[in-house]
């Protein structure tokens, strides 16, 4: 006998007191009946009317938007973007919070994740409890900084560019993204219609005049003739299964990649290659990793999930001719770029494949230093255990998700490594995202 379908609660409204912030860009509240609500567009301590956006009777929790603020927090500001708010663009979680409050909220999330998933206090993690802004990121109250150098626009059925709504495939059409870097905005993507196109990715390199736009057509769609506000040349690219994409390359260089400048080098990053989206992020993270690892001449190091070689290059320059660096990366395009970028450093070798598959095949049984910058899901227990067995004197863990970092720190503790120092950086202003760098040492060395 089939059970009766549970009634949807979408659209129901509750007047609630907003509790603490939670990971993911929302705060926790409870209805009068004790039902848990994850509420967006609210701040801790406020009293709001929350409208349910997802959930049904008997669910463990409901998702909701704060649609009316009855008692506002002193940290609340008017969102500067007209496309931010309930039911609109899902890209910016904290436009309604003052800049300092945004960083405090992120710090509270990191603290909670470390305690719940790793069993660590901030002191035990070597963290002073602060989230550091990027150099130069001084934003006035109620403003949104223009920092994002890579923006992927979704295109609706009418060909209008926009951004996805929260937890939805629906497109919120926009005519200007406040957090897009000037180099992205100047291309004029938002001013045009894009018939038969699914996504438009706009890229503005840091430290060079390179610009790139990547168009992905809808199934069966035709690629349009394009005129943008900055001169571009067109390169058509065949993808697997016969799908066609077009790269619009700025005529300054006319090549299917952009040149990024960071850590004293120029980096080739092809379409599909990962690069940090904040213009200061690469330098900030390299500095934090190098200060933590303190590489020595002649040491052997691993750079795992190495992308186009950012950390491998920085370490390779410091370990000298008698040293060695092995980088491992799963993206074939990124491996090609990394090998090109580091061709002047004979001591650096880049291997293609997944870390958990390639590392055992190398036969490496020990290393002096390890840096890992895994995807959002983290490295996982099996990889962490294998890394700990290599006996590195220091490990640098770069994390874009505090939950994944906390889980992996727990695995490292079980394998004999503990954080020496952890730093957190606000490299994604007005969103809930935060970047962390944890430096680990063998527990025996710390005791």
pLDDT at residue 3, rounded to an integer: 67
Q: Do residues 282 and 427 both lie within one domain?
A: yes
Span 269-289, average pLDDT = 92
The answer on 172 and 133 residing in a single domain is no
> Rounded to whole angstroms, what are the CA distances from 58 to 6, 7, 9, 309?
8, 9, 10, 49
Q: What is the mean pLDDT of residues 54-78?
A: 96
Assess if residue 438 is contained within a domain. Answer: yes
Instruction: Please tell me the predicted confidence (pLDDT) of residue 234.
Output: 60
Dig out the tokens for 112 from the structure: 């909670």
Is residue 389 one of the residues assigned to a domain?
Answer: yes
Rounded Cα distance, 366 and 177, in Å: 47
Given a cut of 90, whether residue 274 has pLDDT beyond it is no
Rounded CA gap, 272 and 274, in Å? 6
pLDDT band per the 50, 70, 90 thresholds, residue 135: very high
| Mean pLDDT score, 416-433 | 97
pLDDT at 1 over 80: no
102 known member of a binding site = no
Domain membership of residue 303 as a residue range: 105-137+278-446
* Mean pLDDT along residues 26-34: 96
Q: pLDDT value at position 63?
A: 98
Mean pLDDT computed over every residue of the chain: 92
Q: Which of 259, 291, 316 is the last residue of a domain?
A: 259
Kindly tell me the sign of the dihedral angle through the C-alpha atoms of 171, 176, 177, 182.
positive
Q: Does residue 162 share a domain with residue 109?
A: no
Same-domain check for residues 171 and 306? no
The Cα–Cα gap between 339 and 405 comes to: 28
Average pLDDT over residues 233-248: 58
Of 259, 294, 323, the residue that ends a domain is 259
CATH number (domain holding residue 128): 3.40.50.150
CA 46, distance to chain mean position in Å, is 28
| Domain presence at residue 345 | yes
Does residue 86 lie in a domain region? no
Q: Tell whether 232 and 380 lie within a shared domain.
A: no
Residue 238 above 60 pLDDT?
Answer: no
Whether residues 122 and 159 share a domain: the answer is no
Q: In the structure, what pLDDT confidence band is assigned to residue 80 with cuts at 50, 70 and 90?
A: very high
Report how far residue 54's alpha carbon sits from residue 379's, in angstroms, rounded to the nearest whole number: 31
Token pair belonging to 17 = 């007191």
Structure tokens at 367: 């290393």
Order of all β-strands in the sheet with 232-238? 171-173, 161-164, 150-155, 197-204, 211-217, 244-250, 232-238
More confident residue, 315 or 216: 315
> Quick one: tokens of 87?
């039911």
Q: Do 409 and 282 share a domain, yes or no?
A: yes
- Give Cα separations from 323 to 295, 306, 363 (angstroms): 10, 18, 18
pLDDT confidence band for 180 (50 / 70 / 90): very high
Examine the pLDDT at 444 and tell me if it is beyond 90.
Answer: no
User: The tokens 């506000």 sit on which residue?
Assistant: 229
392 and 439 together in one domain? yes
Alpha carbon distance 10, 32 (integer Å): 17
For residues 2 and 170, what is the distance between their CA atoms, to the nearest angstrom?
32
Please report which confidence band the pLDDT of residue 253 belongs to, taking 50, 70 and 90 as the band edges.
low
Per the annotation, the verdict on 400 as an active-site residue is yes
Is 229 annotated among the ligand-binding residues? no
Same domain assignment for residues 307 and 411: yes
The partner residues of 71 in beta bridges, in order of sequence, read: 47
Q: How many domains, the chain? A: 3
User: Regarding predicted confidence, which is higher, 446 or 179?
Assistant: 179
Q: Let me know if residue 308 belongs to a domain.
A: yes
Whole-number Å distance between alpha carbons of 284 and 373 = 14
Beta strands in 251-338 (DSSP E): 257-262, 265-270, 300-304, 324-329
Nearby residues of 287 by Cβ (< 8 Å), 6 or more positions away: none
- Residue 41 belongs to a domain with what CATH number? 2.40.50.140
Q: Give 311-370 pLDDT, tens digit per residue.
A: 999 999 999 999 999 999 999 999 999 999 999 999 999 999 999 999 999 999 999 999
Looking at the structure, do residues 213 and 287 belong to the same domain, yes or no?
no
The pTM of this model reads 0.93
Residue 102 has pLDDT above 70, yes or no: yes
Phi and psi at 308, nearest 5°, equal -90, 10
Residue 95 lies in a domain: no
232 within some domain: yes
Which entry of 27, 89, 177, 400 is annotated as an active-site residue?
400
User: Model confidence at 246, in pLDDT bands (50, 70, 90)?
Assistant: low
Q: What was the pLDDT predicted at 29?
A: 98
d(CA 427, CA 281): 6
pLDDT greater than 70 at residue 242: no
Q: Residue 235's pLDDT band (boundaries 50, 70, 90)?
A: low
Q: Do residue 282 and residue 429 come from a single domain?
A: yes
To the question of whether residue 329 is assigned a binding role by annotation, the answer is yes
Best CA proximity match to 144, nearest among 85, 86, 87, 99 = 99
H or E segment to which residue 49 belongs:
strand 47-54
- The answer to the question of residue 251 being in a domain is yes
Chain segment 85-100, per-residue pLDDT in tens: 999 999 999 999 999 9
> With 80 as the cut, is the pLDDT of residue 233 above it?
no
Distance CA 144, CA 137 (A): 10
DSSP state of 182: H
Specify whether the CB–CB gap between 258 and 276 falls below 8 A: no
- Same domain for 245 and 167: yes
271 is in an annotated binding site: no
What residues pair up with 259 in beta bridges, in sequence order?
268
């Amino acid at each position: 006998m089939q059970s009766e379908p549970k009634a949807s609660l979408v659209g129901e409204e509750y007047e609630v007191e907003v509790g603490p912030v939670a990971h993911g860009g929302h705060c926790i509240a409870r209805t009068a009946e004790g039902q848990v609500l994850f509420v967006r567009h609210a701040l801790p301590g406020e009293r709001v009317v929350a409208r349910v956006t997802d959930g049904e009777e008997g669910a463990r929790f409901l998702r909701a938007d704060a649609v009316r603020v009855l008692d506002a927090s002193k940290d609340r500001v008017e969102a500067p973007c007209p496309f931010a708010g309930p039911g609109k663009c899902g890209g910016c979680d904290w436009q309604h919070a003052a800049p300092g409050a945004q960083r405090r909220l992120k710090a509270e999330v990191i603290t909670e994740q470390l305690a719940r998933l790793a069993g660590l206090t901030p002191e035990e993690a070597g963290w002073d409890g602060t989230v550091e802004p990027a150099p130069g990121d001084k934003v006035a109250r109620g403003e949104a900084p223009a920092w994002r150098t890579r923006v992927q626009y979704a295109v609706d059925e009418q060909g209008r560019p926009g951004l996805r709504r929260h937890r939805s495939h629906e497109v919120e059409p926009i005519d200007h993204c406040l957090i897009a870097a000037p180099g992205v905005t100047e291309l004029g993507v938002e001013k045009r219609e894009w018939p038969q196109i699914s996504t438009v990715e706009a890229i503005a390199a840091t430290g060079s005049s390179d610009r790139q736009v990547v168009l992905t057509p809808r199934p069966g769609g035709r690629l349009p003739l394009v005129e943008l506000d900055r001169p571009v040349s067109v390169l058509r690219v065949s993808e697997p299964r016969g799908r066609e994409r077009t790269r619009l390359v700025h005529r300054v260089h006319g090549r299917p990649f952009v040149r990024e400048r960071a850590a004293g080098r120029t980096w080739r990053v092809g379409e599909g290659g990962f690069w940090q989206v904040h213009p200061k992020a690469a330098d900030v993270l390299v500095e934090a990793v190098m200060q933590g690892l303190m590489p020595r001449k002649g040491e052997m190091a691993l750079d795992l999930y190495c992308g186009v070689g950012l950390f491998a290059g920085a370490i390779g320059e410091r370990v000298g001719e008698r040293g060695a660096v092995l980088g491992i990366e799963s993206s074939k395009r990124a491996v090609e770029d990394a090998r090109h970028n580091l061709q002047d450093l004979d001591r650096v070798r880049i291997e293609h494949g997944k870390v958990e598959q390639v590392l055992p095949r190398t036969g490496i049984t020990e290393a002096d230093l390890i840096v890992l910058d895994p995807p959002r899901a983290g490295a996982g227990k099996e990889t962490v255990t294998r890394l700990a067995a290599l006996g590195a004197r220091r490990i640098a863990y770069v994390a874009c998700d505090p939950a994944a970092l906390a889980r992996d720190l727990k695995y490292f503790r079980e394998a004999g490594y503990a954080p020496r120092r952890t730093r957190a950086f606000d490299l994604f202003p007005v969103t809930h995202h935060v970047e962390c760098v944890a430096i680990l040492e063998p527990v025996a060395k710390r005791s």
